[in-house]
């Protein structure tokens, strides 16, 4: 099975410059980005079978990733 990694650049390819700008100038974005990357890495490990978990835990992580992505999208639009 192929796994999609969901990096921020893959999720927002049209906003690469804005992502970089925020990463060097916005502390809130930096925290969101770090949290997103940590959750995303955990999900990727689960999907690759590198770690075991319940389906409920995996779904909770995916919802958290979506919430973080929504917050990041909001910052990119502002």
Residue ranges of the domains in the chain? 8-77
pLDDT higher than 90, residue 71: yes
User: What would the pLDDT profile of 17-57 be if each residue is shown by its tens digit?
Assistant: 999 999 999 999 999 999 999 999 999 999 888 777 888 99
Cα–Cα distance, 73 to 70 (Å, whole number): 5
pLDDT of residue 3: 57
pLDDT of residue 50: 77
Neighbour count for residue 47 (Cβ, 10 Å): 16
Cα–Cα distance, 77 to 24 (Å, whole number): 17
Confidence of residue 64 (pLDDT cuts 50, 70, 90): very high
């Amino acid at each position: 099975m192929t796994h999609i990694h969901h990096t921020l650049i893959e999720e927002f390819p049209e906003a690469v410059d804005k992502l970089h700008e925020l990463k060097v100038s916005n502390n809130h974005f930096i925290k969101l980005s770090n949290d997103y990357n940590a959750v995303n890495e955990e999900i990727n490990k689960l999907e690759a079978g590198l770690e075991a978990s319940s389906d409920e835990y995996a779904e909770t992580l995916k919802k958290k990733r979506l919430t973080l992505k929504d917050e990041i999208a909001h910052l990119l639009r502002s």
